[in-house]
Amino acid sequence: MTAFATLIETVNDYLWGLPMIVLLFGTHLFMTVKTGFIQRKTPLAIRLSLTKDPDSSGDISPFASLSTSLASTLGTGNIIGVGTAIALGGPGAVFWCWLTGIFGMATTYAESLIAVKYRVRTRDGHMLGGAMYALERGLKMRVPAILFACFGVLTSFGIGCGVQVNAIAVIIDSSVRSVLERSSSLSSLRRLLEARPDAVCLTIGVVTGLITCVVILGGVRSIARVCERLVPFMAFSYLAGCFVILLLNHSLLGESISLILSSAFESPKAVGGGLAGSGMMLAARYGIARGLFTNEAGMGSAPIIAAAARTPNPVRQALIASTATFWDTVVVCLITGLVLVSSILRDSSLSWDTLSGGELTTAAFSQIPYIGRPVLIFGIITFAYATILGWSYYGERCLEYLFGKISLFPYRFLWILVLVFAPVVRLELVWSISDTLNALMAIPNLLAVLLLSGTIARDTRYYLKHLDEKDRSLIPLRQK
């Protein structure tokens, strides 16, 4: 097993090294140019995400589709991952992470456009789409389509299920033990945990499994309905905590921004606040890698739910889908980065080059008296659970492409089993395998995006031209 783990780590070092960064970030830049810098339409895209269009074909509203997409991308990476990028690449990593989000919006737009354009309607009226359908119907490439679907199913059990419920269980178990250690009146519970150390984690697994079972058995509408309510609430709660910290550190915000920008390009040397610059290469490497991993732009996961949205035009839904990357990386990751850097400048005992990402984030939120740690714990739990719901849908659609609807019940049953037992299993190897599968998902998806880039550019020009002419058949305008 040790040899296998070493092999997986070696593969990951290659896949998530320079080749994948060049492929993903290169695609982001290429599609930005190809679409005429589609990011400039972000205000329109945000407005469209709030516009209902009940008469169009699809299963769920555009906002529900966006919420489910955000559910899968807004995860622990937005909280702990940014801290990890700073710990490994210095404050400048925040800039490169943010820049990845800006350009990544173009790839999210492109992959979502072809997902909707080549989607299919099932016999019972549901919409199915994603990279596998774009590859098969748009490019007649059946083998890459099958590979993408296979990697998608396998990845869903790892990074979309097992590691997320494990993160929930670990944070709750740690909090329960911390409370028991401080309370002498709960000695009987403390002895129980000493006798059954996995009791809390197993309980969390059972509860999470039961709650998730109720949601996913209702299909995409049930998942979207929960995400539609959960995502805005959890994002607001987390960002509210961040803004409290930024308010406490308001006098250091200018210095924090200056440090982030200077560290993104400087050679290694001492910079303000007792911090040491990591240099452009380290900052870029870890900032770009974390940004790519966090927002999943180019991975092909989010377009699967975009294809289920009610929309009169693929370009319209693609614009809406691109805002997921905007909110995820351009907004949430940037604010998290400002929180961490300003906290380091405020507290001389903190250092990005001696603390892990999780320790940096915990220390930053500990600045809020009484409620800081609970806000952080709530954010981690809700972000992780939302990811479980979003990825359950992605895995189902990939499996349905391969084997049809008959495969859905066994998949859901196995999904619940993983939720129940993953909290009591060491998942380091599962994390590593999931990283490998994520990279392997991206390759056929990016193949579809690049080979269909001409179609994407042509549809984009046509839509935007008629948008300027206020063609109501393409985009519903504000009702009088």
Task: Return the pLDDT at 117.
Answer: 93
Buried b (16+ CB within 10 A) or exposed e, 113-129: bbbbbbbeeeeeebbbb
C-alpha atoms less than 13 angstroms from C-alpha of 185 in its C-beta half-sphere: 0
Scan for tokens 């080749």, then name that residue.
19
Task: Return the pLDDT at 356.
Answer: 61
pTM: 0.86
Task: Return the pLDDT at 30.
Answer: 95
Measure Cα distances from 195 to 164, 166, 188, 189, 192 in Å. 26, 21, 11, 10, 5
Distance CA 400, CA 412 (A): 12
Distance CA 353, CA 355 (A): 6
Scan for tokens 């593969």, then name that residue.
11
Task: Return the pLDDT at 272.
Answer: 40
Listed residue (242, 240, 239, 260) closest to 339, CA to CA = 242
| pLDDT averages per 10-residue partition of the chain, 480 residues | 73 74 89 94 89 69 85 73 77 86 93 94 85 94 94 87 82 75 65 70 87 84 84 85 87 89 66 46 70 79 89 89 90 88 79 63 76 80 86 91 89 90 73 77 93 94 72 41
The helix or strand, by DSSP H or E, that contains position 127, with its residue range, turns out to be: strand 127-128
**Partners of 270 in the β-ladder:** 276
Task: Return the pLDDT at 268.
Answer: 42
Within 8 A by CB and 6+ apart from 418, the residues are 157, 161, 162, 165
Task: Return the pLDDT at 133.
Answer: 95
Task: Return the pLDDT at 57.
Answer: 67
Listed residue (80, 74, 54, 69) closest to 320, CA to CA = 69
**How big is the chain by its Cα radius of gyration, in Å?**
22
